[in-house]
Amino acid sequence: MIIRDPLWNNIRVDALALQLVDTPVFQRLRYVRQLGLAYLVYPGATHTRFEHALGAYHLARLTIALLEERGELTGVSLEERAITQAAALLHDVGHYPFSHALEEIGALHHEEVATPLVLSGPVAEMLTSMLGTGAPERVLALIRGTSESPLQGLVSGSLDLDKIEYLKRDALMCGVPYGEIDVDRLLNSLVLVDEPATSRRVIGVLEKGLSALESLLFAKYQMYRNVYWHHAVRSATAMYKRLVDEALAAGDVDARALSTFDDEGLLHRLARRGSPPLLSALRERRLYKRVLECPAAELSGEALEWIADDRTLTTATEDRLATELGLSPGELLLDFPAKTQMLGLDLPVVRRSGEVRRLTTAGLEGAINLPVLSEQLYQSARWLRVFAVRRIDVPRGELIERLVGIGDRESGIGNRKTSGTADRERGTEAP
């Protein structure tokens, strides 16, 4: 079967993939927006996890075919290749409504949510029937990045196909020129190599593909700076997180059921609370205003990570500050995006001499120092922001110093709780 796609044109779907696509688990992704609330800023950003997952599957099939054509897959069974393609297709089935936002308030990471969806029910039955006993577990291991498969790096790793797909698709649908990646060069530079330290066969990249890897880094930086962490997108996301937080605290929504909703389904459930002000504001695009912002590069160390990691402390601080500034609880919101890596690097590079060297955070001689550049770009894209229901004057220096002080006290106590939002490349995307 062929599915027409605006990004990749024709996506060929085999019999197993077609059956998996037709399951309720996968069909829910039709109604989960890929970029959450970014459509409030970029009207075209209404594409969903459904088409992104199909695109990741398409790139997996294409890459496996290229590796086979070059004789790279000797010893990799047809079953292993099919398992990898299924994992690429199913990698996002655990996503919450509006994608990653709820992971920022402490909900389980979407890869954890995917566990029962892959290991039981119709998805598991189809995988077992078509690929044999143990197939669901092998697919899940690839999704979670714990597989021993030589093809693990295609599904979850430094250079997984998920990144390439979402950056290209998100740029296209947002109508921005920031997602330019030399996809053809990158895919044609992927190889299977023996890892120097362990002799395991893993996905690596030819040295000639490093320039294409650089294009991926620059595209990701520009998308984070201009789309994913756009101030209005983060305002809407902060409002949405607070809205769901309040519903969970009131018992109006069961945290265990969050992953069963699609975007509109969750909004309808939240409306049962009598149309909370935050919900009405999101529906009508009355977004909170920036009253303070500061780039991460100007902030010290880990002092403000609690805003991303400790939801209880963040909410309490928001309400205390709101009261002091003449606002009501919930009318002032703090935002510091969960810490991620602009490009987590840990993959073997085949030098032109044939030598295999690992590209890590230490960099690689003779090439742009991607790890250092990645960190610098990340620091310039990530901003601390304070949003309020209306424009108010805040004491900028004093407020930042106060927030840093809270972080210093909390880190000293050692009782911070993490939300599980570490990027899987994300990740996550994270997108």
| pLDDT tens sequence across 79-110 | 999 999 999 999 999 999 997 888 888 776 77
What's the rounded Cα separation, in Å, for the pair 84 and 154?
8
Q: Would you say residue 379 has pLDDT above 70? A: yes
Of all residues in the chain, what percent carry a pLDDT higher than 90? 63
pTM check: above 0.75: yes
- Looking only at the bridges linking them, the beta strands covering 332-335 and 190-194 are unpaired
Give the pLDDT of residue 107.
73
**Mean pLDDT across 199-224:** 88
Give the pLDDT confidence score for residue 370 in this predicted structure.
65
Query: Distance (Å, rounded) from C-alpha 359 to C-alpha 353?
Result: 16
On the question of pLDDT at 311 being above 70, the answer is yes
Query: Is the per-residue pLDDT at 415 higher than 60?
Result: no
Smallest CA-to-CA distance from 89 within 32, 161, 148 is with 161
Q: How confident is the model at residue 361 (pLDDT cuts 50, 70, 90)?
A: low
Q: Are 178 and 226 in contact (CB under 8 A)?
A: yes
Q: What is the pLDDT of residues 18-50, one digit of tens each?
A: 999 999 999 999 999 999 999 999 999 999 999
Q: How far is CA 401 from the centre of its chain?
A: 30
pLDDT in tens, 237-293: 999 999 999 999 888 888 888 889 999 999 999 998 777 899 999 999 999 999 999
Q: What is the mean pLDDT of residues 315-320?
A: 96
DSSP letter string, 41-99: TSTT---BHHHHHHHHHHHHHHHHHHHHHTTTTTT--HHHHHHHHHHHHHTTTTPBTTB
In the block, which residue shows the tokens 């990530």?
Answer: 382
C-alpha 330: how far from chain center: 27
Provide CB contacts within 8 A for 197, sequence distance 6+: 358
Burial (CB < 10 A; 0-12, 13-18, 19+), residue 325, is middle
CATH of 2-175, one of 1.10.3210.10, 1.10.10.10, 3.40.50.720, 3.40.50.970: 1.10.3210.10
Does the bond joining 430 to the residue before it have cis omega, within 30 degrees of 0? Answer: yes
Sign of CA dihedral 132, 133, 134, 135: positive
pLDDT at res. 356: 85
